[in-house]
A and B are shown apart, each in its own frame.
Chain A
């Protein structure tokens, strides 16, 4: 079964620090790796995404690092702010996945302390 494993389950960071969330996947046919951000009582929203032809993508304070050989990718949040406190999901899709379904990681609950 296709899987995406996400760690840690929860993370506490001081304001201004760096938040790092890691994901590992098994299916080498995956070719699209998005990260979603979810605030309490809301649906997830796309934060940033990467394809395997690049090793890093940066958008503002958010960076995805991608290691194709290790089948791992991670989200780095620089200068973390209390407003970043949310649940983050990594996901992957591609290959023989019918309908190009996203397979989600288990989520990371981030708390940024003021």
Chain B
């Protein structure tokens, strides 16, 4: 089955530590996205990439970094500079003209 795999499902970290969230897709989609979901705030775009080795900042990129070395993979690093990192993180992908497909998310808790 084609889809988007996010791992792990739950992640716990101590404040001050960087953490990397994995996102892999086998849909052969060119574009990939990271969203953050907080209660009552909808989905906010962190970073997106429309092609390998290129990515752009979304609305809330501060404190995050990404890489896109392979078409299938778009990992997100939550750095210690992110003031409020506890959230549900969603990875998505799409092909031009087609709907956005989401993974099942990673719930990050930082204490």
A residues contacting B by CB (< 8 A) are: 6, 9, 34, 36, 41-46, 49, 89, 98-99, 101-102, 104-107
| A89:B100 contact, CB within 8 angstroms | no
Closest chain-A Cβ to B97's Cβ sits at a distance in Å of 9
Chain B: residues with Cβ within 8 Å of the partner, total of 22
B residues contacting A by CB (< 8 A) are: 4, 6, 9, 31, 40-45, 48, 50, 56, 58, 90, 92, 99-100, 102-105
| B92:A43 contact, CB within 8 angstroms | yes
| B40:A106 contact, CB within 8 angstroms | yes
Closest chain-B Cβ to A105's Cβ sits at a distance in Å of 6
| A99:B105 contact, CB within 8 angstroms | no
| B99:A34 contact, CB within 8 angstroms | yes
Q: Take A6-B42, A89-B43, A107-B42 as given contacts and tell me if A99 and B92 are in contact as well, using a CB distance cutoff of 8 Å.
A: no
| A43:B50 contact, CB within 8 angstroms | no
